[in-house]
Copies of this chain bind each other. A is one copy, B any other.
Amino acid sequence: MTNKTFSRVFAWPLVMVACSAIGFAQEPGGGARPASTNLPGQQFPQIDDDLRATFRLSAPNAQQVILDLDGRHDMNRGANGIWTFTTDPLVVGFHYYSFIVDGATVADPASESFFGMSRMVSGIEVPSKGEDFYEVKNVPHGEVRLRPYTTKSTRQQRKVAVYTPPDYDLNTAARYPVLYLQHGYGEDRMAWWRQGRVNFILDNLLAAGKIKPMIVVMEDGGIATGLSGGRGGMPASRPTSGTASTTAARGVTPDRFAFTQAFEPIMINELIPMIDATYRTISDRNHRAMAGTSMGGLQTFQITLNHLDTFAYIGGFSPGLPQDIETTLTKDVVGFNQKVKVLFLGTGTVERDTNPNIKNLHEGLQKAGVKHVYYESPGTAHEWLTWRRDLYQFAPLLYQD
């Protein structure tokens, strides 16, 4: 980490498919094979060598079936009531999608489901040729642990996902720094693991000697900030109390700012003390980072900037930006540069082209002399491959002094 303002744009050693448009029904090309996100034994969706995806659904009596993937696309009815659609070449990465069967929005029964878009939604992994930093490899593996806990102040039953590095149980004298890593709106504490592949990314980085071993803590900063359960891959339990719960029960979805407000005291007063008491952490600010995607980035700014005594590392992965963030960050440049070891801002070039606010913040910070790292993920949008790459860039910067 140098002491002056700089930005880094990594040139990935491959040509990215930047086309995100999906057209009318295409013919699938050569090399079509089942997506890795399919359920076992399921042949569709398939992805061909040009990254066109072909979807299928059996709906013999339906009048209309729509594929909802970056826009809505009428599927074509074939023999025996099998509906199909082949997309234009897709952007690499992980995309949510649904089917709309005569007006009912549902997940694809042939594909893995994920909690995203505030519901169970299908996901398709579009492979990025030559890019395997998030794949499972034959290296030592850490664990992802699901732990229930009870908040001391409100007696709320919650749960947290914790990544522990491969040597955690072998080296019982060691203590580890901690990264608090947040998901986006409509997702939950399982997203960084299931959609983001956090454990494989860190296992691989560690095996390559590129990062310090660290604990990663993933809690629910969304709907469960005021609900006792119902999500997180754990068996559901009943709602107890809390603002967001009450709001949700009335059928009003709290906005990103309400979630952030609700999550800050949980994180500061409950989660961090519980983690430091339960795991072998190094519990000072120099060994504590927070990062998040989208709404989780908004929460990261809100929480870390209110608690710079608690965090030395800040990561915004396509973050939502608090109002006046540039003013906040530039009002005491010398103090900020001394206190914050790494401020990381990431965005995908595809999302940047339509919403340049993160790039603009980067340029403002650069101009003001606020030390930070800016990273653009080539050819990706506001989604998980961007954020996996953000983590891959961010993690090696942590705990290096």
Contacts and interface: CB of A to CB of B under 8 A. Distances in A.
Contacts of A150: 138
Interface string A165-188: 000010010000000000000000
Nearest to A170: B278
Interface in A121-141: 125, 134-136, 138, 141
Interface string A305-332: 0000000000000000000000000000
Contacts of A223: 40-41
A29 B233 CA distance: 30
Contact of A236 (B36, B81, B146, B193): B36
Given A36-B237, A120-B120, A103 B62 contact: yes
Given A40-B230, A101-B59, A120-B107, A143 B141 contact: no
B107 A136 contact: no
Interface stretch (A2-10, A248-256, A287-295, A389-397): A248-256
Contacts of A190: 233
Interface in A37-61: 37-41, 43, 57-61
A155 interface: yes
A286 interface: no
A136 B233 contact: no
B197 A253 contact: no
A41 B238 CA distance: 11
A86 interface: no
Interface in A223-244: 223-224, 227, 229-231, 233-239
Nearest to A279: B169
Contact of A113 (B113, B147, B249, B253): B113
Contact of A61 (B64, B120, B157): B64
Contact of A104 (B37, B62, B145, B200): B62
Interface string A151-164: 00001010000100
B101 A104 contact: yes
A43 B118 CA distance: 14
A236 B147 contact: no
B148 A145 contact: no
A63 B107 CA distance: 19
A40 B231 contact: yes
A370 to B, nearest CB: 35
Pairs A-B, 10 closest by C-beta atoms: A59-B104, A41-B248, A60-B103, A106-B106, A61-B102, A62-B102, A40-B223, A61-B103, A143-B145, A141-B148
Interface of A: 36-41, 43, 57-65, 81, 99, 101-107, 109-113, 115, 118-120, 125, 134-136, 138, 141, 143-150, 155, 157, 162, 169, 172, 190, 193-195, 197, 199-200, 203, 223-224, 227, 229-231, 233-239, 248-249, 251, 253, 278-279
